């Protein structure tokens, strides 16, 4: 197999399904009506409800959902070979992930821009809405743990990326001052920011910072507690702005590079297409591809966080119902394309990376050793960064070290933003939960609220194995997606009531997802958790998993009760 062929097949699948399946969902399920005023028009207030250019919404939506997740998950899933993960990314996207994103957005549009959490409370039960918030809080702690482990791993395996990343923070602060405090010309400020970013990569190349993973974890914990309390213009805003350039540049450069490499005859896949059904992945144990794949590839195929993004602000800004397909469905496809690039690059150059670094992974032991060695040598991002760099070097002659540093910075920058976000949201959620529980005032303090999430997350990352933390995070994420998709399936079946069998296009994926994730987490609880040596990880992750499973069972019971209600009860909600 060849990288150019795979990338072109991916493009063909996504374009083909967008214009066939996607349009069918739009016309037959959602029944999107260009003449029906969206909340952006109907409730226009010039502040929250404002119609936006669809390309702007698409760009914002994609930048919000694309981070380190669609890179790390598929990189680890290569243990099963390149083909299973790729098929899950493609067809998981088409039939589950993109459907989930699109329907979360459009159901929100039909409910005046209310979130999918609110809609779940309305269509299923109030406690479903509560379960949603609990899932989110646990997910955020696991996000801090898993992404903290990712970043500390990047900094250990690629010390130049550590320098570049910390300098990137400084660059963001300077850019914030230039644009928002001193208000220099926007284009000039942007050019200065990008040049400083290139400078940061160059300095990182020259002056790498060496430290242990534990030192980095402490540094990251302190950084994120402070960063998440700063005014947004100082760091978060300018950093997020520069991240958008990194993302699009990396994606376009990589996509073109692996097409060129394929055309030049240097893009042949050397990694095995398929190793074994039960490669050693989750917890280092033999993991059956189904049902455990969602515990590894989360964001590249399907992610519950996307429903929050789509039904948060995007639905309030949709100008026309027909724009929803590009934003929701198309945005997820673009993320799937990013994951396709990750898989292709490792499939072409992964074996070479292992040989160059003298890591004992061969074609013969790929299934049993890939994930274990990648995590042991802190290569979960470097395997992608180096593979990407080799491809870019072969295609365009760009320095391997420079390109690898760029790719590592790309992942680190997004993971750092995710840490910041997780801390802010964790603080917000904790305070909301303490408010509901009528807890003493000191428990609602913002520094305490931030510290709880960060300290818990860092403690888990300190002693826990990545092959336990990442699946735990993915599992919670996928359960969140399950709530959103089951809510969407109720909305479709009871409110939209499409003709023919189109409601099954949503119900079947929703039930398949619920069954898959539930079985995966049961397997995780029974097979993986008992073998964890670190007691904090074992009992914390075990407890979170048990709570998640109990909430999941409650969810399907509520769904079933809601399903049994006659459609007439939902008729008043139809719009």
Partner 1 sequence: MQKIKDFLRGFGEAFRHQSTEFIEFELRELENVFALILMGSFIGIPSPPTTLVMRLMPHMVKEIRVMESRAVNLDDVFAEVAGMFDID
Binding site for partner 1 (CB under 8 A): 43, 45-49, 52-56, 58-60, 63-70, 113-118, 133, 136, 143, 179-180, 186, 190, 231-233, 236-238, 240-241, 243-245, 299, 303, 305-306, 308-314, 335, 414, 417-418, 420-422, 424-425, 428-429, 432
The DSSP 8-state label assigned to residue 336 in this structure reads H
The least CB distance from residue 117 to partner 1, in Å, is: 6
Q: Is the dihedral of CA 462, 467, 468, 474 positive or negative?
A: positive
The least CB distance from residue 149 to partner 1, in Å, is: 16
The least CB distance from residue 234 to partner 1, in Å, is: 10
- Tell me whether residue 185 or residue 356 sits nearer to partner 1 (CB atom): 185
Phi, psi of 486 (to 5 degrees): -70, -35
Please, are residues 510 and 482 in contact by the beta-carbon 8 Å criterion? yes
- Tell me whether residue 267 or residue 324 sits nearer to partner 1 (CB atom): 324
- Tell me whether residue 395 or residue 415 sits nearer to partner 1 (CB atom): 415
> In this structure, how many other beta carbons lie within 10 angstroms of the beta carbon of residue 501?
10
Distance CA(378)–CA(397), nearest Å, equals 27
The least CB distance from residue 504 to partner 1, in Å, is: 28
Distance CA(547)–CA(149), nearest Å, equals 23
Nearest to 34 by CA among 323, 396, 416: 323
- Tell me whether residue 432 or residue 525 sits nearer to partner 1 (CB atom): 432
> In this structure, how many other beta carbons lie within 10 angstroms of the beta carbon of residue 91?
15
The least CB distance from residue 65 to partner 1, in Å, is: 5
Please, are residues 506 and 492 in contact by the beta-carbon 8 Å criterion? yes
Q: Is the dihedral of CA 448, 452, 453, 454 positive or negative?
A: positive
- Tell me whether residue 165 or residue 417 sits nearer to partner 1 (CB atom): 417
- Tell me whether residue 48 or residue 356 sits nearer to partner 1 (CB atom): 48
Distance CA(310)–CA(207), nearest Å, equals 41
The least CB distance from residue 383 to partner 1, in Å, is: 20
The least CB distance from residue 177 to partner 1, in Å, is: 13
- Tell me whether residue 54 or residue 294 sits nearer to partner 1 (CB atom): 54
The least CB distance from residue 248 to partner 1, in Å, is: 9
Those residues with Cβ within 8 angstroms of residue 243's Cβ, 6 or more apart along the chain or in another chain:
63, 413, 414, 417
How many residues are listed for the chain in this entry?
575
Number of C-alpha atoms within 13 angstroms, CB side, residue 439? Answer: 13
- Tell me whether residue 63 or residue 513 sits nearer to partner 1 (CB atom): 63
- Tell me whether residue 87 or residue 252 sits nearer to partner 1 (CB atom): 252
- Tell me whether residue 47 or residue 535 sits nearer to partner 1 (CB atom): 47
In a 3-state reduction of DSSP, which class is residue 114?
Answer: coil
The least CB distance from residue 497 to partner 1, in Å, is: 25
Read off the tokens for 489: 């399936």
Those residues with Cβ within 8 angstroms of residue 396's Cβ, 6 or more apart along the chain or in another chain:
253, 257, 260
Helix or strand run (H / E) with residue 288? strand 286-288
Q: Cα Rg for the chain, rounded, in angstroms?
A: 23
The least CB distance from residue 454 to partner 1, in Å, is: 16
């Amino acid at each position: 197999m060849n990288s150019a062929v795979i990338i072109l097949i991916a493009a063909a699948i996504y374009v083909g399904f967008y214009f066939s399946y996607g349009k069918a969902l739009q016309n037959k399920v959602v029944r999107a009506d260009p003449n029906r005023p969206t909340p952006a028009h109907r409730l226009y207030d010039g502040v929250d409800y404002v119609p936006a250019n669809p390309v702007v919404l698409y760009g914002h939506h994609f930048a919000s959902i694309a981070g380190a997740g669609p890179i790390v998950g598929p990189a680890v899933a290569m243990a099963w070979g390149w083909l299973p993960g790729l098929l899950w990314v493609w067809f998981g996207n088409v039939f589950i992930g993109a459907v989930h994103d699109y329907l979360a957005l459009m159901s929100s549009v039909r409910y005046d821009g209310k979130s999918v959490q609110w809609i779940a409370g309305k269509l299923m039960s109030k406690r479903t809405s509560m379960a949603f918030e609990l899932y989110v809080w646990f997910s955020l702690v696991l996000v801090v743990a898993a992404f903290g482990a990712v970043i500390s791993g990047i900094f250990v395996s690629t010390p130049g990326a550590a320098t570049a990343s910390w300098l990137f923070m400084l660059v963001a602060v300077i850019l914030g001052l230039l644009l928002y405090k001193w208000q220099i010309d926007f284009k000039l400020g942007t050019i200065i920011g990008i040049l400083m970013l290139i400078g940061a990569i160059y300095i990182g190349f020259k002056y790498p910072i060496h430290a242990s993973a534990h030192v980095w974890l402490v540094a990251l914990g302190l950084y994120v507690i402070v960063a998440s309390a700063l005014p947004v213009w100082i760091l978060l805003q300018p950093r997020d702005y520069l991240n958008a350039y990194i993302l699009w540049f990396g994606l376009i450069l990589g996509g073109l590079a692996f097409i060129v490499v394929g055309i030049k005859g240097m893009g042949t896949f050397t990694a095995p297409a398929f190793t074994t059904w039960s490669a050693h992945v989750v917890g280092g144990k033999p993991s059956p591809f189904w049902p455990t794949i969602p515990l590894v590839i989360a964001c590249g195929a399907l992610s519950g966080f996307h429903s929050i993004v789509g039904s948060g602000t995007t639905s309030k800004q949709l100008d026309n119902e027909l724009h929803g397909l590009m934003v929701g469905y198309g945005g997820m496809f673009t993320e799937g394309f990013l994951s396709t690039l990750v898989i292709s690059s490792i499939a072409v150059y992964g074996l070479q990376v292992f040989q160059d670094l003298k890591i004992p992974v061969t074609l013969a032991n790929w299934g049993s050793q890939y994930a274990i060695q990648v995590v042991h040598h802190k290569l979960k991002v470097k395997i992608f960064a180096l593979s990407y760099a080799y491809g870019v070097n072969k295609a365009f002659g760009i320095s391997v070290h420079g390109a690898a540093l760029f790719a590592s910075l790309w992942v680190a920058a997004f993971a750092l933003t995710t840490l910041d976000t997780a801390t802010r949201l964790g603080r917000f959620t904790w305070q909301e939960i303490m408010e509901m529980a009528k807890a003493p005032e000191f428990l609602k303090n913002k520094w305490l609220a931030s510290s709880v999430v960060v300290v818990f997350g860092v403690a888990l990352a300190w002693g826990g194995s990545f092959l336990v933390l990442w699946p735990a995070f993915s599992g919670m994420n996928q359960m969140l997606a399950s709530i959103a998709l089951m809510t969407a399936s109720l909305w479709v079946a009871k409110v939209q009531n499409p003709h023919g069998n189109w409601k099954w296009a949503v119900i079947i994926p929703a039930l398949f997802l619920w069954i898959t994730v539930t079985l995966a987490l049961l397997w995780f609880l029974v097979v993986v958790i008992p073998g964890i040596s670190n007691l904090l990880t074992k009992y914390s992750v075990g407890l979170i998993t048990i709570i998640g499973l109990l909430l999941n069972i409650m969810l399907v019971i509520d769904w079933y009760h809601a399903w049994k209600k006659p459609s007439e009860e939902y008729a008043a909600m139809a719009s």
